[in-house]
Amino acid sequence: MNNEIAGEIPRGIGDLPDLEALLLWNNSLTGSLPPSLGSNSKLEKLDVSSNSLTGPIPRDLCRGNRLVRLILFSNRFNSTLPPNLANCSSLWRVRIESNRISGVIPTGFGQLPNLTFMDLSDNNFSGGLPPDLGDAIRLQLLNVSKNPLKTSLPNSIWRSKSLQIFSASSCGLVGEIPRFDGGCENLYRIEIEDNELRGEIPIDIGECQKLLTLKLDRNRLTGPIPVEISNLPSITDVDLSFNELSGPIPSEFGNCTTLENFNVSFNELFGRVPFSTVLSNLHPSSFAGNRGLCGPPVGSTCPSGVRKTERRPESAEIVWIAVMAVGVASSDWILGMGSTGTVYRAEMPGGEIIAVKKLWAPQKEHKQKKRPAILAEVEVLGSVKHRNIVKLLGYCNNRDTTMLLYEYMPNGSLDDLLHRKNPAKGGGKMAGDWGTRYRIAVGVAEGVSYLHHDCEPAIVHRDVKGSNVLLDGEMEARVADFGVAKLVASGTEKAMSVVAGSYGYIAPEYAYTLRVDEKSDIYSYGVVLLEIVTGRRAVEAEFGEGKSIVDWVREKASKGDKGSALELLDPNIIGAVATGCKEVREEMMLLLRVAMLCTSRNPAERPSMRDVLSMLRSAKPQKEKKGAVGEKKKKQGD
């Protein structure tokens, strides 16, 4: 396990007469599992997770009825789930998420006496959930999210007394949420967001006395918010946003002291938001998109009579000045153009220079429904504050135009620095300064790490690339355009995005999943790191048709000789390769290895951005380490 083993699993392993456990997780294995695996009737544990295995799941894994753990997640298995697994009474833990398994979920798992954990998420299962899952006597976690089930939930789903976590988000579920009927006494997490559920939230949800998290957002639920939710003794996280709920927010929520997150944005609610310290401290975006709501949390008073006017943002004057400036701007004011819009340079009345991004207009059929989603996304973008992220100063949005106002970065982008060699934008000599490149690499990692690990919920950038890394007056990196790709798509159905990265930077799994997540950002960051180390663009004709810098680097590195590896390093770095500086070459090779980890084909093999930061800091340029001997000794003693 975890030994970087590559190649295929020998078929003879399946014929070993006394094989009880096969643990090969987190390697680089390919091919299929031996078809005879389990036929010896003694197999108890199988864990081949986080590899690149394909093909079918062997039918005889539980022939001896001794299989306890079946762990296959993060592979490419592409068959159906063998029906006889649903008769494996010894089975305790099943994890087959993040594969390509299709067909129906076999009936029978609900009758297994020992099954406690079952994660089938992120596959291609269809045909609905077997009703007998509600009869499970020990099942604690059931996750079927991200499967095209496209059916209704069985009425028996809450019947299991042992169930603690139920997740069925993004499954195309239709129909209504079944009544709980007293069967949710141990349930503490319900996640059925991003479906097509209709009808009202069952009022007997109040019987789920241990419920902590309730996520019903992005459905088509109607009716009032049940007051019973506010009376749950431990409820902490409630998301009912993007539904069609109506009526007032029950006043009892003002007394709900356990509540930490409460999002009812973009419904049809009206009336005063209940007064409480908890609700008052929530971000206004939690209540956005409900024209009839008023009170301190939404920033408006509650006068008598009908309220037809919308609150004008405090920054409205600044926004409209910027809009006027862009409206009369010529091409000389354009700082750049990309897949999401055009960026202009604008001067404020006080002389301050800002950058204004005018997003591409939506299609006509999406204009009306785009505005609420845009406002919600902008609220999130504006709340992000970090030294390595370009600050969003404000925005303007009407029926036809959306503009974002950012800090102006005087030294252009990393793309300018590396490839355009424009002295006016920091090119030329600075493009060959290894210390500058290293600081930029760390700065970008710091910014993306903040989005992934310190924002709640986590923010996926979706378009990490050199031109979205801007440089301030001190040549420090600032990540720009995070979330803007999603912002452009907001309100256009429920697709994650119409833009999910730029050519040469897009993670390979996007081609078959059409989904982006933190691992997608890690891949894109790895491409940027390769550009920093090699000085080459993400895509060049020299790499070959349909190939990127990742393919080029892998081809060079696969030769295994030191000379080929050194050819990857940018010879234009001043005082480094050209003058034989060994220390700098070693540092560049370390960053090259980090980049190759980030661009692993298997998303599960890519490190988190926090891990990337740790690896980058271990490769700190030697001249920066000399003044930190004490710090180094301290770290060695930790």
Report the binding-site residues for ATP: 358
Measured from the Cβ of residue 299, the count of other Cβ atoms closer than 10 Å reads: 12
Residue length of the chain? 638
- SS3 readout for 244-299: EEEECCCHHHHHCCCCCEEECCCCEEEEECCCCHHHHCCCHHHCCCCCEEEEHHHC
CA atoms within 13 A on the CB side of 556: 21
Please list, in sequence order, all residues whose beta carbon lies within 8 angstroms of the beta carbon of residue 174, skipping any fewer than 6 positions away: 150, 151, 152, 195, 196, 197, 198
- 402: tokens are 């959306």
The label of the residue with tokens 């890690």 reads 522
**Cα 188 to Cα 42: distance, rounded to the nearest angstrom:** 36
CA 447 to the chain's CA centroid: 15
Q: Is 570 a catalytic residue?
A: no
**Cα 334 to Cα 346: distance, rounded to the nearest angstrom:** 9
The label of the residue with tokens 């398994």 reads 101
- b (16+ CB within 10 A) / e for 184-201: bebbbbbbbbbbebbeeb
CA 547 to the chain's CA centroid: 26
| Residue 505 vs residues 316, 454, 527, 538: alpha-carbon distances, Å | 36, 24, 6, 7
- 568: tokens are 């990857």
Task: Let me know: does 271 contact 293? Beta carbons within 8 Å.
Answer: yes
Task: Let me know: does 81 contact 58? Beta carbons within 8 Å.
Answer: no
In a 3-state reduction of DSSP, which class is residue 12?
helix
**Cα 102 to Cα 109: distance, rounded to the nearest angstrom:** 17
- 621: tokens are 């340029």
Active-site choice (463, 481, 521, 570): 463
Annotated binding site: 358
| H or E segment and range at residue 447 | helix 434-449
**Cα 403 to Cα 392: distance, rounded to the nearest angstrom:** 11
Q: Which active-site residues does the annotation give?
A: 463
